[in-house]
Structure 1
Amino acid sequence: MPLELVTLRCLRDNYAYLLHSEAGTVLIDAPEAQPVLTELSVRGWGLDAILLTHHHDDHIQAVPELVAATGARVIGAAADAHRLPPLDVSVVPGEPLEILGDPVEILDVSGHTIGHLAFHFPQSALAFTADSLMAMGCGRLFEGDAAMMWASLSRLNALPGETLICSGHDYCSGNAAFALTVDPDNAALRERMRAIAEAASPCAPATLALERATNPFLRVAALREGLGMEGADDAAVFARLRRMKDAF
């Protein structure tokens, strides 16, 4: 059975995601308990597991309250267990995992943090990328470096174009404004900005194909010449774009 996806706004600009099937319900990241508990109550669902992408408080701080209320198991990176809530299941990139009857690919997307995971559900064409690949952007490099983040983004960019990228924040306004400064003639970007301005729904998730067309951090080849970086490799162009965004 196909998985049902519910996008939840939490805190000021976080996203969390519920996945549901006849086999149960899981949550990806736990920024805030009340929106999750309210949605579960409205839908009459329990909560079987919480998947954690990385250790930042705005992605894990609701875990104790949610576990106490639902008994959900907690799944996260073995390498990051020392700074995550207590884990029931520790995972490592590349090892097999099954969630709600779907196989899950565990991807190392370090850069924003070391040990950041993404969870790819290939049968359902979903990827939970949190603060690695984001809507028209990518996460700041708090622990990793540009080469590490570029490798992570390249790993995600190799997924099928129809994959829905379920990112961790609504930074769409600022990301779009920056994207326009480096990619001003991009008609797809302008159309996406128009659609977001007119929509009441969240700006994530979005297909990887749309990110490829509008996200400057996936468009380094198209932007290289405009940045005066002919001959530079992709990682160097990405690093320049990330520094520009940091100062934007």
Structure 2
Amino acid sequence: MSKLEIHQIPVLSDNYVYLFRDPDSGQVGVVDPAVAGPVLDKLKELGWTLTHIINTHHHPDHTGANLELKEKTGCTIVGAKNDAARIPGIDIKIEDGDIFEFGGATAKVFEVPGHTVGHIAYWFAESEALFCGDTLFALGCGRLFEGTPAQMWKSIGKFRNLPDSTRVYCAHEYTEANGRFAVSVDPKNDALKKRFARIVEMRRNKQPTVPSTLGEEKATNPFMRADDPVLASELHLSGADPVEVFAETRRRKDSF
């Protein structure tokens, strides 16, 4: 089992695309390429040849460069079996529980509906890397465009079972805005307040706040803590089902 070399590429206004290489095989993947230019530039800089596109979901800011990159490199496109019709150029169709082999590295595939009904995530255990698209963000989660609060809470629950050291390679730099909201619904969380202060300083210095770790998210992200009695109390939902707490948290975020 080998560990991936991972590079973060900022694109558009706030997207992150991830380029990674398996040192054993030399295979190179890119996660959710929104646009081709920055990916091709980074490949040239590193001297790498793209072999795979790894998609988490169908939105154009995650699949927009699929066909151009495939045409220019001959790469293979990997995506969700149950959403294959909306993944441009898909070649390999995967589903929940599958093990995706990438040279000497392997990823466990999770179906994580909520943001979209066909969203998936990839966990490379040896690399301590979770590519989660728009399901989980640093201090936030994706809007529920197609799924339900119950689906999203269950999806996030799959991530809560992974090791705290896992790095969360989410797809957007939303952390400062997410943190401002998180503090508003969880004002007694000292770990959150300290983290938010660091985030504000990082953004002031134009530093990325991503990746975070699952340990940080479990302690400070309200969307991972819908079963925490303290958060429920702050939302005036003491004793409520976690799905209800999650739904209320998401509702407030949508209008924050």
Q: Deviations over 1:135-154 (max 9, x none)?
A: 10000000000000000011
Alignment size in residue pairs: 248
Judge conservation of contact 1:26–1:50 (CA < 8 Å) in 2.
yes
The residue that corresponds to 1:6 in the other structure is 7
The correspondence for 1:73, drawn from 76, 79, 84, is: 76
From 227, 231, 236, the equivalent of 2:239 is 231
CA distance in 2, matches of 1:197, 1:26: 31
Matched, 1:64 2:67: yes
Q: Which consecutive residues of structure 1, in runs of 5 or more, have no partner in the other structure?
A: none
Which residue is 2:218 aligned to?
A: 212
What's the offset of the Cα at 1:190? 2.3
Q: Is the 8 A contact 1:81 1:87 kept in 2?
A: yes
Question: Counterpart of 2:233 in structure 1: which amino acid?
Answer: E
Check the 8 A contact 1:25/1:100 in 2, yes or no: no
Instruction: Tell me what 2:18 maps to.
Output: 17
3-state SS, counterpart of residue 78 of structure 2:
strand
Is the counterpart of residue 44 in structure 1 residue 47 in structure 2?
yes
| Structure 1 residue 106: Cα displacement | 0.5
1:89 is aligned, of 87, 92, 101, to 92
Per-residue CA deviation, residues 116-140 of structure 1 (Å, 9 max, x unaligned), is 0000111111111111011100000
Q: Is the 8 A contact 1:3 1:124 kept in 2?
A: yes
- Paired amino acid for 1:205: P
Counterpart AA for 1:178: F
Q: Partner amino acid for 1:4?
A: E
Q: In the aligned structure 2, how far is the partner of 1:8 from the partner of 1:129?
A: 16
The runs of 4+ residues in structure 1 deviating greater than 6 Å are none
| % identity of equivalent residues | 42
Native 8 Å contact 1:135 1:206 kept in 2: yes
**Which string of whole-angstrom CA distances, capped at 9 and with x for unpartnered residues, describes residues 189-237 of structure 1?**
2222222233333111110001112211112213011111111011110
Name the CA distance, whole Å, in 1 between partners of 2:38 and 2:191: 33
In the TM superposition, 1:157-236 aligns within 5 A as: 157-199=160-202, 200-220=206-226, 221=228, 222-236=230-244
Counterpart CA distance in 2 for 1:56 and 1:156 is: 22
Partners of 2:103 and 2:177 in 1: how far apart? Answer: 35
Q: Is the 8 A contact 2:36 2:65 kept in 1?
A: yes
TM-score, normalised with respect to structure 2? 0.93
Of 180-189 and 75-84, the range deviating more from structure 2:
180-189
By how many angstroms is 1:100 displaced? 2.9
State the Cα distance separating 1:238 from its structure 2 match.
Answer: 0.5
Displacement of 1:156 in angstroms is 1.0
Q: Distance in 2 between matches of 1:132 and 1:140?
A: 8
Which one is further off, 207-216 or 1-10? Answer: 1-10
TM-score (norm 1): 0.96
CA distance in structure 1 between the partners assigned to 2:185 and 2:22 by the alignment: 42
- Residues 115 and 144 of structure 2 are in contact (CA less than 8 Å); yes or no, is this contact kept in structure 1? yes
Check whether the contact 1:107–1:117 (CA below 8 A) recurs between aligned residues.
Answer: yes
C-alpha RMSD of the superposition: 1.2
